[in-house]
Amino acid sequence: MARTSKKTKSPSPHRSARTLERLANLVPHPRYGTEVVPSGRLGADDLISGPPEWSKDVTFPESAIPADVSKQNFSTMSHLHWYVDTLRDCRVCNRPFLFFAREQQYWYETLRFRVEADCHECVECRASLRTVQRRRKRYSELVGERELTDADMLALASDVAFLWTKGLLRDEQRLRRIRNRARRQIPGSAATRALDELVASLPK
């Protein structure tokens, strides 16, 4: 007599439909990819605690790798004893991403980030946040200078166009002034054209 096979083993018995859906839509990581990576490191006797109850994180114990606590840089928190692939939603773009065990190892042992430093943004948003920071810094260094080399004027014009488009600059007078400087010093550059278009789009 045929029996329905109740014991068919799902490869991921603990993954809910919601988790599977998030895993199918991960922001790809250029170095670590888009898959939970089984490490084969977790022995039968090893226990790894799940995330705290208040956490929305989903973790994958099969990905766990043991930490070398002697390499960690910590102040108030205790050491991390394991790194484990952790599923999160990016707080900037809301897309799901994995904070990979090997990525954590790299953060906390090679780069020696403090173990309190946690990861809340996907790799794409982290890259664009760094771009914003870099451009803001350069903009603030250049904007007060009365004389700029052509290369610096190009950098300033391009930073202003970038920051304006991101909604991070709002002073229309300043936008016009920098556009005028760019027209005088670097006419015909793409950055000047971008500023021209931004100024033209301002409400009259």
**How far apart, in whole angstroms, are the C-alpha atoms of residue 108 and residue 83?**
10
Q: How far is the CB of 98 from Zn ion (least distance, A)?
A: 12
From residue 151, give the alpha-carbon distance in Å to each of 136, 137, 155: 17, 16, 6
For the CB of residue 62, give the shortest distance to Zn ion in the complex, in Å.
Answer: 25
Q: Which among 122, 200, 191 is positioned nearest to 163, based on CA atoms?
A: 191
d(CA 65, CA 41) in angstroms, rounded, equals: 6
Residue from 58, 90, 169, 198 that binds Zn ion (CB under 5 A)?
90
Binding mask 113-132 for Zn ion (x = CB under 5 A): ---------x--x-------
Length of the chain: 204
Residue 104, Cβ density class (10 Å: 0-12 exposed, 13-18 middle, ≥19 buried): buried
Binding mask 34-73 for Zn ion (x = CB under 5 A): ----------------------------------------
Question: In whole angstroms, how far apart are CA 180 and each of 1, 163, 186, 191, 194?
Answer: 86, 17, 10, 12, 12
Which of 37, 92, 132, 142 touches Zn ion by CB under 5 A?
A: 92
State the minimum distance, in angstroms, from the CB of residue 90 to Zn ion. Answer: 3
């946690």: which residue's tokens? 118
**Site membership for Zn ion, residue 26 (CB under 5 A):** no
Nearer to Zn ion, 62 or 124 (CB): 124
Beta carbon of residue 48, minimum distance to Zn ion (angstroms, whole number): 26
Pick the closer one to Zn ion by CB: 167 or 188: 167
User: 189 exposed, middle or buried (CB, 10 Å; 0-12, 13-18, 19+)?
Assistant: middle
Q: What minimum distance in Å lies between the beta carbon of 129 and Zn ion?
A: 9
Nearer to Zn ion, 67 or 122 (CB): 122
* Site for Zn ion, rule CB under 5 A: 90, 92-93, 122, 125
